[in-house]
């Protein structure tokens, strides 16, 4: 009996002694070392970018709260302006009513003046054509003087009463008018102040909105920068894996990496590994790369292939760009179970599965999850591009 297959990476380490002594290996080692240094630098940049994104997002959060406060202040201030305008209108009505009252009082005063004037004329006519002062000074006798004095006293008393009423009315009106006009002036002043405050708040809001847009652009710029760095890292990872795969399987075919179990056992393990998921799995883009996804049958195509080979102790990549350069390419006419087959779906070599023989393959299909499909007819026959890669050699 063969022992259980150890991880492929361990087998790789075992073979390093003889591998490093072969021509061209030092060059590949230097290239891999350069790639790893680049990836290390990218990771440092990613850490820095993440910190900058966090800082910008924190500033955005604070600014958003400030904008909320400013928006509420605008609403409150508008309400105050509306209330003040209502009070101004009410005060103007009070002033208009007082002006009517003043007009009425002036009318009464004019009437009083006419009454006094008529009384004086009547007295003058009864005492002769003399001036008002002559009503008293022009008496012909003491009896006439007394009569005239009594009449003048009556007129003077009436005049004094009219003047008194006039003064009381005038004081009352002026007092009310002063109070209302002061109130109106205060309200107009408050309205002017509120409108000034409103203008300042709106200016602040405009500045905050502009800053928010600036921060959003900065955030998007940093997110794009992060995405670019991640893409660079993925590209380097693919390149690194391709160098390793090419060096192991293609450019150095004479290098013998012994597998602790037979190739047939390894093939059998790979082609049957996914059977337990048939009917109870789902295709998830990016899935199958952690224990939770694997436990719940959540795989994309390349992750499933990588997982299936791992069950036989063989470590391969989990991306079609890596897998398409892993192993030895052979014609489809020579394909056998355990080989990888590729399809042009959303891109060239966008889908991968494990060949089972008789035109069938198993893979994580987007419509069914893990399932056995036919590449000799139907959809996959149209998408199959002829690429077949063999990882397990005899």
H-assigned helices in 128-141 = 134-137
Most confident among 38-47, 107-116, 129-138, 246-255 (mean pLDDT) = 38-47
pLDDT tops 60 at residue 12 = no
Question: Any idea what DSSP says for residue 248?
Answer: I
pLDDT tops 90 at residue 28 = no
> pLDDT band at residue 258, thresholds of 50, 70 and 90?
very low
pLDDT digits (tens, 9 = 90+) for 206-257: 878 888 888 888 888 888 888 778 778 767 766 766 666 554 444 333 333 3
> pLDDT band at residue 132, thresholds of 50, 70 and 90?
very low
Q: What count of Cα atoms within 13 Å lies in the side-chain half-sphere of residue 98?
A: 19
pLDDT digits (tens, 9 = 90+) for 303-335: 999 999 999 999 999 999 999 999 999 999 999
Q: What is the pTM of this model?
A: 0.40
Q: What is the largest CA-CA distance in the chain?
A: 168
Residues of the chain above pLDDT 70, percent:
72
Q: Which of 367, 361, 374, 257 is nearest to 308 (CA)?
A: 361
In the predicted model, what is the mean pLDDT of residues 131-144? Answer: 56
Instruction: Tell me whether residue 305 is exposed, middle or buried, using C-beta atoms within 10 angstroms of its C-beta: 0 to 12, 13 to 18, 19 or more.
Output: buried
Token representation of residue 353 = 């599965």
Please say whether the beta carbons of 315 and 392 come within 8 A. no
The angle that helices 25-127 and 142-245 make with each other, rounded to 10 degrees, is 170
DSSP strand pairing (282-283 vs 298-299): parallel
């Amino acid at each position: 009996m063969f022992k259980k297959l150890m991880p492929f990476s361990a087998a790789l380490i075992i073979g390093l002694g003889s591998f490093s002594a072969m021509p061209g290996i030092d060059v590949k080692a230097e290239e891999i070392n350069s790639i790893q240094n680049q990836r290390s630098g990218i990771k440092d940049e990613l850490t820095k970018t993440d910190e900058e994104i966090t800082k910008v997002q924190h500033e955005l959060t604070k600014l958003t709260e400030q904008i909320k406060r400013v928006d509420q202040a605008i609403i409150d201030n508008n309400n105050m302006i509306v209330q003040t305008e209502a009070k101004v209108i009410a005060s103007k009505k009070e002033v208009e009513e007082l002006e009517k009252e003043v007009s009425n009082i002036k009318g009464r005063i004019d009437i009083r003046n006419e009454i006094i004037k008529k009384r004086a004329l009547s007295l003058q006519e009864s005492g002769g054509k003399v001036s008002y002062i002559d009503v008293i000074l022009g008496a012909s006798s003491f009896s006439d003087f007394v009569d005239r004095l009594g009449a003048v006293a009556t007129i003077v008393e009436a005049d004094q009463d009219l003047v008194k009423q006039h003064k009381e009315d005038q004081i009352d009106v002026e007092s009310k008018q002063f109070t209302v006009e002061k109130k109106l002036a205060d309200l107009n002043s408050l309205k002017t102040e509120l409108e000034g405050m409103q203008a300042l708040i709106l200016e602040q809001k405009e500045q905050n909105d502009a800053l928010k847009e600036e921060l959003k652009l900065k955030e998007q710029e940093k997110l794009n920068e992060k995405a670019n760095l991640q893409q660079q890292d993925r590209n380097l990872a693919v390149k690194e894996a391709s160098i390793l795969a090419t060096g192991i399987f293609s450019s150095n075919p004479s290098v013998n990496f012994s597998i602790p179990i037979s190739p047939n056992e390894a093939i059998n393990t790979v082609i049957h590994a996914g059977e337990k998921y048939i009917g109870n799995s789902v295709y998830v883009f990016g899935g199958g790369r952690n224990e939770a996804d694997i436990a719940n049958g959540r795989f994309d195509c390349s992750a499933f292939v990588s997982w299936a080979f791992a069950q036989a102790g063989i470590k391969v990549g989990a991306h079609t760009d890596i897998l398409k350069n892993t192993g030895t390419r052979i014609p489809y006419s020579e394909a056998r179970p355990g080989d990888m087959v590729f399809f042009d779906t959303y891109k060239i070599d966008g889908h991968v599965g494990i060949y089972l023989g008789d035109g069938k393959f198993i893979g994580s299909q987007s419509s069914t999850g893990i399932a056995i499909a036919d590449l000799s007819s139907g959809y996959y026959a149209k998408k199959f591009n002829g690429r077949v890669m063999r990882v397990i050699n005899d």
